Structure 1
Amino acid sequence: MEGFRLEEYLSRGTQRIVNEILKASIDNPKQSIFMLQYAGAARAAEKLRRKAEEEGEHIPPFLIASIARECNLHCKGCYARANESCPGECGQGTQDLKAVQLSREQWGDIFRQARELGIGFILLAGGEPFTRRDILEEAGKHRQILFPVFTNGTMLDTYFLKLLTDCRNLIPILSIEGNQGTTDERRGRGVYQRIMDSMEELMKRKLMFGASVTVTKKNLKEVTSDSFLDGLCQRGCRAVIFVEYVPADGNSYHLAPDEEDRTFMEKRLEKLREERDGMIYISFPGDEKSSGGCLAAGRGFFHINAAGGAEPCPFSPYSDTSLLNTTLREALKSPLFMRLKEEGILDGEHTGGCVLFGQENKVQALL
Structure 2
Amino acid sequence: FQVFTNGHFITSEVAAELRRLGNVTPLISVEGTEIISDERRGRGNVLSQTMQGIQNCLDNKVFTGVCTSLCRTNIDDLLTDKWVDRLIEMGVLYTWFHVYRPMGPDACPDLCLTPEQQVRVRKFVVETRARKPIAVIDAYHDGAGKALCPAATGISHHINPWGGIEPCPIIQFASESIYDDPDVPDGQQRTLGEKMVQSEFLSDFRQLAQQTTRGCIVLERPDLLKNLVVKHGSQDTTARQTALSELEKMEVRTSQYHPGQEIPEKSWAYRLVKKFFYNDFGVYDGHDHGATSAPGVLELPTVVVEDEPVSV
Match in the other structure for 1:280: 135
Q: Structure 2 length normalisation: TM-score?
A: 0.61
TM-score, normalization: structure 1?
0.53
User: In 1, Cα distance between the equivalents of 2:55 and 2:120?
Assistant: 31
The superposition leaves residues 229-261 of structure 1 with CA deviations (integer Å, 9 ceiling, x where unpaired) of 222221121211112111013741111112111
Other structure's SS at 2:198 match: coil
Higher relative helix content: 1
TM-superposed deviation, 1:307: 3.7
The answer for the alignment partner of 1:164 in structure 2 is: 18
Match of 2:176 among 318, 321, 329: 321
1:358 to 206, 220, 227: 220
8 A contact 2:5–2:26 mirrored in 1? yes
**Cα-to-partner distance string for 1:136-185 (whole Å, 9 max, x where unaligned):** xxxxxxxxxxx222221122223213213323322222211123332233
What corresponds to 2:126 in structure 1?
A: 270
Q: Give the aligned partner of residue 345 of structure 1.
A: 209
SS of the equivalent of 2:3 reads strand
Name the CA distance, whole Å, in 1 between partners of 2:202 and 2:33. 39
Residue identity in the other structure for 2:32: G
In structure 1, what is the Cα distance between the partners aligned to 2:136 and 2:29? 14
Q: d(CA) in 1 for partners of 2:158 and 2:177?
A: 11
Q: Give the counterpart letter for 1:201 in structure 2.
A: N
Q: Secondary structure at the match of 2:9?
A: coil
Q: What is the alpha-carbon root mean square deviation over aligned residues?
A: 2.7
Q: Percent identity?
A: 24
Which residue of 1 is the match for residue 97 of structure 2? 242
Q: Which residue pairs with 1:211 in the alignment?
A: 66
Counterparts of 1:356 and 1:312, CA distance in 2: 11
The aligned runs of 1:29-178 (5 Å cut-off) are 147-178=1-32
- Tell me if the contact between 2:167 and 2:202 (Cα under 8 Å) persists in the aligned partners: yes
Match of 2:46 in 1: 191
Give the counterpart letter for 1:337 in structure 2.
L
The question of whether the paired residues in 1 share the 8 Å contact of 2:7 and 2:49 is answered with yes
- Which of 248, 253, 257 aligns to 2:109? It is 253
Q: Match for 1:214: what amino acid?
A: S
Partner of 1:48: none
What corresponds to 1:294 in structure 2? 149
**Counterpart Cα distance in 1 of 2:129 and 2:227:** 40
Give the CA deviation at 1:220: 1.3
> Could you tell which deviates more after superposition, 158-167 or 225-234?
158-167
Paired with 1:254 and 1:184, the residues of 2 have a C-alpha distance of 17
Which residue does 2:198 correspond to in 1?
333
Amino acid at match of 1:178: G
Q: Equivalents in 2 of 1:219, 1:289: separation in Å?
A: 28
* Structure 1: distance between partners of 2:130 and 2:199: 40
Deviation of 1:282 (Å): 1.5
CA deviation string 1:191-244 (max 9, x = no partner): 212223333333334433110111112211211111122222211212111121
* Paired residue total: 217
Gapped runs of 5+ residues in structure 2? 182-188, 232-312
Amino acid corresponding to residue 203 of structure 2 in structure 1? M
CA distance in 1 between counterparts of 2:115 and 2:53 reads 35
